[in-house]
Amino acid sequence: MQTEEFVVLAEYASAVEAEMAKSILACAGIRAQIENEYMTTLYPGVIRAKLVVFEKDYKQAKTLLRIRD
């Protein structure tokens, strides 16, 4: 059985921004998670919230959120 890997799609200065992006992806049926969500709140400006998606959804998620390389 092959397991799917999460990859970092984007980093945000606040958990709120990451949650908004996660909601957009959820509406499109893309599962996403936020790493460092609580640490971003405790240490704003120091630790960034990372939005991660499955590797197979990476390109579609980038397009939905209009993320450029």
Count of domains forming the chain: 1
Domain-embedded: residue 68: no
Instruction: Please give the model's pTM, rounded to 2 decimal places.
Output: 0.88
Domain-embedded: residue 49: yes
CATH number, position 38: 3.30.70
Domain-embedded: residue 30: yes
Question: Would you give the DSSP letter of residue 2?
Answer: P
Helix H, strand E, coil C: the string for 9-45 is EEEECCHHHHHHHHHHHHHCCCCEEEECHHHHHHCCC
What confidence score (pLDDT) does residue 66 get? 94
Question: Would you give the DSSP letter of residue 55?
Answer: G
Q: Which tens digits make up the pLDDT trace of 7-42?
A: 999 999 999 999 999 999 999 999 999 999 889 888
Within its chain, how far is the Cα of 52 from the centroid? 4
Question: Would you give the DSSP letter of residue 52?
Answer: E
